[in-house]
């Protein structure tokens, strides 16, 4: 019984840590790209913000799975963050 309670409390944290890690990676790259163009820094910042929002959405969706708007928010912000990461990677290769 206590094992089940533990998983109920740990599962939302585990789910939220995955996009949170991607946000941390985006912020790390942002930190080391201080001399790069402003457009690259804006795209990296936007990607980090989207991954953080995705992390919050998936955390609350794990607690309240009946709220479909949280799942839609999770998927939309994660995909936007992923798109920003891809664009910034291509931009870094080109410059």
pLDDT tens digits for 47-78?
999 999 999 999 898 888 888 898 999 999 99
Runs of H (alpha helix) within 1-95: 2-32, 38-63, 68-94
What pLDDT, on the 0 to 100 scale, is given for residue 6? 66
pLDDT tens digits for 4-51?
666 677 877 777 888 888 888 888 888 887 788 899 889 999 999 999
Phi–psi pair at 74, nearest 5 degrees = -60, -50
């Amino acid at each position: 019984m206590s094992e089940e309670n533990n998983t109920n409390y740990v599962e939302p944290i585990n789910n939220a840590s995955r996009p949170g890690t991607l946000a941390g990676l985006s912020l790390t790259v942002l930190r080391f790209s201080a001399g790069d163009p402003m457009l690259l820094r804006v795209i990296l910042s936007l990607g980090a913000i989207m991954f953080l929002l995705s992390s919050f959405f998936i955390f609350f969706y794990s607690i309240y799975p009946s709220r479909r708007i949280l799942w839609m928010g999770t998927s939309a912000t994660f995909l936007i963050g992923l798109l920003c990461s891809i664009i910034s990677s291509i931009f870094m290769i080109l410059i």
